Amino acid sequence: MNRDRPTRTLLSVDAYVEGVLSGSRAVLARAITLIESTNPEHERMGQEVLTRVLAHTGNAQRIGISGVPGAGKSTFIDAFGVHLTGLGHRVAVLAVDPSSRVSGGSILGDKTRMQRLAADPNAFIRPSPSAGSLGGVARKTREAALLCEAAGFDVVIVETVGVGQSETTVAEMVDFYLVLMLPNAGDELQGIKKGILELADLIAVNKADGENVEAARRAARQYEAALRYVRPMHPGWKVPVLTCSALEGKGLDRIWAKIREHAEILERSGERQRRRDRQLLSWTWGLVEEALLGALRAAPGMEERIARLERAILERRTTPFLAAQEILDAFLRREG
């Protein structure tokens, strides 16, 4: 799909703003398509729409969800989202999917992964952009989340579909980070990255049903033991380990209760707003760095210079520091 040319005729900025603020899912979808476009005119309009709805953002509970392969993330989000809409919440689900550069699209594009939630009038599911760097995908996801909040969705779930850096990226745009695990913790616990445990605000051992119930409890105890060696993201919060069954809908109420408890603790201490402020500034400087690197690579003559210096580095004829200095000096001289 070409993000540079939205398939429908553009609305006016007023129409986008009015539609988003009225909670129209159709207009919300079109507004997100607008901000995903790399067409300069669409970008200008998208930023104007975002600016005009900013005052209506910031009131949602932002939840990041990641999980090891096979943990049943889609089934969990489907069941958890339906549980929340049943409590009267409006739920938006977005994805950060850096792997879409290879596959050409997000697996969220096929909403059959979350059939019940996709059919729920109080839910909105959106795939990540179909191409671009992780930074670019993350920017679009952040902006889509703001539009969802302005449209009245009071729970925004950001799902990591890719691997690696996407976990950290999602953790930097949410209030609460939930990690799904499998009942058989043994080898998995040995191989799991310490980093993802450090990001977690809650670990949920999914698939605690049928013959897996006791295995899930054992796994939960093992994760609790592992967490003793990990410093929590917030000093006033002890990371809980719960078991659940998305298939049977068990344990979802306890998970939501812990998310609410965490939000109240952060709200009382002022940490929630401080965290969001840090995220905004980090996002801003990330965009500056991304734009500067793009300008540097696109500058006339830089492609050849960079290729030459990369060869020199690999052939051990210069150091990375000296090569970086030459690239920067050449770029700054040109800009000056």
pLDDT average, residue stretch 196-216: 90
Q: Note the Cα 6 to chain centre separation in Å.
A: 23
Domain boundaries, the chain: 1-56, 57-269, 281-335
- How would residue 130 be classed by pLDDT, with cut points 50, 70 and 90? low
Could you read off the pLDDT of 144-161 as tens digits, one per residue? 999 999 999 999 999 987
Question: What is the Cα–Cα distance from 155 to 153, expressed in whole angstroms?
Answer: 6
Class of domain 57-269: alpha beta
Q: Which pLDDT band, with edges at 50, 70 and 90, does 98 fall under?
A: low
Write out pLDDT tens, residues 21-57. 999 999 999 999 999 888 999 999 999 999 999 999 9
Residue 186 predicted with pLDDT over 90: no
Residue-level pLDDT at 71: 86
Fill in the DSSP letter of residue 157: E
Q: Which amino acid is at 265?
A: I
Give the type of residue at 304: E
Burial degree of 191 (CB within 10 A; 0-12, 13-18, 19+): exposed
CA nearest to 205, candidates 220, 227, 187, 188? 220
CATH 1.20.5.170 matches 1-56: yes
**What's the fold here for domain 281-335?**
Helix Hairpins (1.10.287)
Is it the case that residue 301 has pLDDT exceeding 80? Answer: yes
The Cα 92–Cα 77 span in angstroms is: 11
pLDDT band (50, 70, 90) for residue 165: low
Please state the rounded mean pLDDT for residues 80-97: 94
- With pLDDT > 90 as the criterion, what percentage of the chain qualifies? 61
Tell which residue, 184, 156, 189, 188, has the closest CA to residue 170: 156
Separation between Cα atoms, residue 148 and residue 20, nearest integer Å: 8
- The reported pLDDT for the residue numbered 127 is 79
Same fold for the domain at 57-269 and the one at 281-335? no
pLDDT in the model for residue 2: 44
pTM of the model: 0.85
pLDDT at 170: 86
pLDDT the model gives residue 110: 44
Helix (H) or strand (E) holding 190: helix 186-191
CB atoms within 10 A of CB 11: 18
